[in-house]
Structure 1
């Protein structure tokens, strides 16, 4: 409810020109509004706080303070308390979200000392929050990752936030036997009210499982290549194709048998350019053999076990194989 004075201008309202008094538009009137205001914006709250400080200083400088001034002080103080309570509530909610997040989150100050360590990273590493807080981040990561993390923190503290940076972190307690944890992190600079960088927050993703699988694949791939490319005469002739039909493998025994080197046939169509008629590298004697070879390759592509079939061709020197 607000009691206004003047400038309402009701329809049909007229002044009595015979009497000397303030015109009727100056009469006080009551306005009642029932609703909720839209939420305050951050910049509006900042303006209110600035006004609060200005008013407070002006009142402090005044030698005398009447009842109305004390009332304003009281209301401003109430606004400050309410604003602080709202800020504390928001801060508490953010902390709760970080603590219960399903991804690992680590925060450090400008010196690299851990000041944030959520539940997920504690579960992954076996290092509880109480022991993690205050440790330098470089003492927690694996030695092989120290240079990577150093650079990550240095750039973040300069305001350059890197993304998708991979490094390994140590494990503790019951998690030691599982080995280090591999993380991919995004760095985010933490700033104070004056936009000064006061730390770095690292939001991570655990890729330990994916990395383990990839490492195994790389080892298997290395063993496979070591066998395929081995010039040992006990290794039989081997050739292969990718899913699109291009020749992807041609081992030394195959090169010896056909007279065609590996780099001369790889990345050519296995059926048509490598084996085929009449201009292929290894010319097949007849069309029936060509068709049968195509059936065998396509059967293997579908994941089925193809039948073994014999096929013959002419080597580079014209020798019948």
Structure 2
């Protein structure tokens, strides 16, 4: 029940302590939920005494629904990446691994934890492919795609595996 918490926010404002960005649900007469963002600020007289509270509530229902949908889609995509039957890896703009799915871990023997934050090209690509892989990755980071580029990765035991 948020009634007691909202009361506390308003009481704090009456004591001179404002509250910013407090979120809580309200329910309309027809039982529809409305998410509200509340800011409560003490209202002061000319002498600095608290004489009331200025409360501003904003309906953030649409934003909350969008955030929930975005979170749901992100989880769905992460599940797809994790369970894909192909190795999927990602790098940041410095070439450091920031994604390594289950299939990549399975075929290389390197767990996600072992590769995250390491240089993909320097640490996992065989030497004769480093320049070409770096070029493909640089293009990808600039939005230029490359289809069906195969290259070998090192496995945990130093073997080569084609991906």
For 2:44 and 2:153, the matched residues in 1 are separated by: 73
Question: Is contact 2:24–2:35 with CA below 8 Å preserved after alignment?
Answer: yes
Please report how far the alpha carbon of residue 150 of structure 1 lies from its aligned counterpart in structure 2 after TM superposition.
2.8
Q: Pairwise mapping of residues 195-210 of structure 1 onto structure 2 (< 5 A)? A: 195=49, 197=51, 199-210=52-63
Instruction: Give unmatched runs, 5+ long, in structure 1.
Output: 1-142, 273-279
Q: 1:147 to 1:304 in 2, by over 3 A?
A: farther
Aligned length: 160
Cα deviation 1:151-180 (Å, max 9, x = unaligned): 21221222211112222333467xx7xx53
- Could you say what secondary structure the match of 1:248 adopts? strand
Q: 1:172 to 1:243 in 2, by over 3 A?
A: farther
- Could you say what secondary structure the match of 1:229 adopts? helix
* 2:157 aligned with 1:307: no
> Looking at both structures, which has the greater relative contact order when contacts are Cα pairs under 8 Å and sequence separation is at least 6?
2
For 2:21 and 2:63, the matched residues in 1 are separated by: 15
Q: 1:151 aligns with which of 4, 8, 17?
A: 8
Q: Pairwise mapping of residues 47-196 of structure 1 onto structure 2 (< 5 A)? A: 143=1, 145-171=2-28, 180-190=33-43, 195=49
Which residue is 2:90 aligned to? 240
Q: CA RMSD in A?
A: 2.9
Please report how far the alpha carbon of residue 188 of structure 1 lies from its aligned counterpart in structure 2 after TM superposition.
1.9
Which residue is 2:134 aligned to? 294
Question: Is contact 1:296–1:307 with CA below 8 Å preserved after alignment?
Answer: no
Which residue is 2:75 aligned to? 222
Question: Is contact 1:243–1:301 with CA below 8 Å preserved after alignment?
Answer: yes
Query: Over alpha carbons, which structure has the higher Rg?
Result: 1
Instruction: Give unmatched runs, 5+ long, in structure 2.
Output: none
TM-score w.r.t. the length of structure 1 is 0.43
